[in-house]
Amino acid sequence: MNPAPEQLSLLATDAPAHQPATDAVRLLLFNAQHASPDRSRRQAHWIAGQEGADIAVLTEVSSTQGGDALVAALTERGYSTVIAPQPSTPDYRTVIACRTSAVQTVPSPVTVTPHRAPAAQVTVGDHDIGVLGLYVPSRGPKDQRNVAKRTFQKSVTESLPRLLAAFPDMPVIIAGDLNVIEHGHHPPHKVFGTWEYDFYDSFQAASLTDAFRHLHPDEVAHSWFGRSGNGFRFDHIFVSTPHAERVLACGYHQEAREAGLTDHAVMTLRLGLPSIPSESGEAPATGAG
């Protein structure tokens, strides 16, 4: 495994807008779209205002001033712990921000560009939760088409058994922009190859369950829209399969995208803990929406 990413545990200058829940994991997935410092601060303000964002996983965070502004603003707005790996060369990264300080940074099991795949153990109430954030590279320039994407995906697939072994007997959540879609996606997109569908399938093969599909097996949902207006379900949250029945709510919310804060839908998850009854049906989503 690689060295642990940078973790910031700083004194917040503002009182948090919401207190973290102790009976459920409330996670929000947000694509930062390599925002400028000004938009990064507005993103942090919006995220901090969402009740269901006790754990925020942010993808496509820049490694320059915009990303630094986002990390600082999240800390100022009540996120006691911000895991913000810094790449050795300019690249996008993934950030995990938590309202609680009961967080242990875990070395990323992903050996290729691990700054795109930070991991943490977060204590919620009396329960420990494993979290991995992911930002899969896009297809890249013509001369390097799909090289970085395939290499990263292969590393992630190989890391999944190690990740689950690192968090034995506890819920594990993987959240991120995977830049792939599922089989049977509507509308279909011919651009995706078998190797990309195989990557999506590798999560189920590793005993991880698509939380959204678990609750909504037939619902058409999109998290990103191309220039033609066609939708893609690129953003995903997976939960360790033994804990999938505790998924209380999981959905996509378009408000932040429509407000111009990001070009992706926000995704939220609420995972019940053993102290409350397990439910398999939909519950009102907390957070965005």
CA atoms within 13 A on the CB side of 211: 31
Q: Which two tokens stand for residue 94?
A: 């993934």
Q: pLDDT value at position 284?
A: 39
Q: What is the mean pLDDT of residues 118-132?
A: 97
pLDDT at 96: 98
pLDDT at position 248 over 70: yes
Selected residue with higher pLDDT from 254 and 9: 254
Which residue is associated with the tokens 């992903």?
Answer: 110
Q: What percent of the chain has a predicted confidence (pLDDT) above 90?
A: 73
State how many domains the chain has: 1
Mean per-residue pLDDT over the chain, rounded: 88
pLDDT of residue 285 exceeding 70 = no
Q: Which pLDDT tens digit goes with each residue over 37-81?
A: 999 999 999 999 999 999 999 999 999 999 999 999 999 999 999
136-153 pLDDT, tens digit each: 998 665 666 678 999 999
Distance of CA 115 to the CA centre of its chain: 13
The rounded distance, in Å, linking the Cα atoms of 1 and 83 is 17
Task: Give the pLDDT score at 276.
Answer: 43
User: Which pLDDT score is estimated for 118?
Assistant: 98
Q: In what order do the strands lie in the sheet with 266-272?
A: 7-8, 81-83, 93-98, 55-61, 24-31, 266-272, 247-253
230 compared with 15, residue with greater pLDDT: 230
Q: Establish if 283 belongs to a structural domain.
A: no
286, part of any domain = no
Position 142 scores a pLDDT of 62
Residue 58 lies in a domain: yes
Task: State the CATH number of the domain containing residue 261.
Answer: 3.60.10.10
User: Is residue 94 scored above 80 in pLDDT?
Assistant: yes
Total Cβ atoms within 10 A of residue 60: 23
The pTM is what? 0.88
Q: For the CA atoms of 137, 256, 71, 94, what is the dihedral angle to 10 degrees?
A: -20
pLDDT score at 232:
84
* Residue 281 placed within a domain: no
Q: Which of 7, 57, 65, 75 is nearest to 35 (CA)?
A: 65
Residue 161 in any domain: the answer is yes
The CA distances from residue 105 to 5, 8, 141, 173, 226, in Å, are 7, 10, 33, 15, 35
Cβ atoms of 68 and 95 closer than 8 Å: no
57 close to 131: Cβ distance less than 8 angstroms: yes
Which pLDDT tens digit goes with each residue over 188-224?
667 677 889 899 999 999 999 999 999 999 888 888 8
Whether residue 52 is contained in a domain is answered as yes
Give the pLDDT confidence score for residue 281 in this predicted structure.
43
Mean pLDDT value of segment 148-170: 96
**Does the structure show a pLDDT above 80 at 253?**
yes
Domain extent, residue 109, equals 7-272
**Phi and psi of 108, rounded to 5°?**
-60, 135
- Asked if the model's pLDDT at residue 186 lies above 80, the reply is no
**Which stretch of 14-23, 109-118, 196-205, 211-220 has the lowest confidence by average pLDDT?**
14-23
- For residues 44 and 38, the answer to whether their CB atoms sit within 8 Å is no
Work out the average pLDDT over 5-9.
Answer: 50
Residues 6+ apart with CB under 8 A from 190: none
Which residue spans within the chain are E strands per DSSP? 7-8, 24-31, 55-61, 81-83, 93-98, 103-106, 119-124, 127-135, 172-177, 208-210, 224-225, 231-232, 235-240, 247-253, 266-272
Q: How many angstroms separate the CA atoms of 150 and 235, rounded?
A: 17
- Contact assessment for residue 134 and residue 176, using Cβ atoms and an 8 Å cutoff: yes
Q: pLDDT-derived band of residue 177, with 50, 70 and 90 as boundaries?
A: very high
For 263-284, write each residue's pLDDT tens digit.
Answer: 999 999 999 998 544 444 444 3
What pLDDT, on a 0 to 100 scale, did the predictor assign at position 182? 76
Question: Using CA atoms, how far apart are residues 139 and 136, in angstroms rounded to an integer?
Answer: 9
Query: Does residue 180 form part of some domain?
Result: yes
From CA 208, how far away is CA 243, in angstroms rounded?
A: 9
Cα distances (Å, whole numbers) of residue 212 to 135, 175, 244, 289: 18, 11, 10, 15
Query: Is residue 88 situated within a structural domain?
Result: yes
pLDDT for residue 13? 47
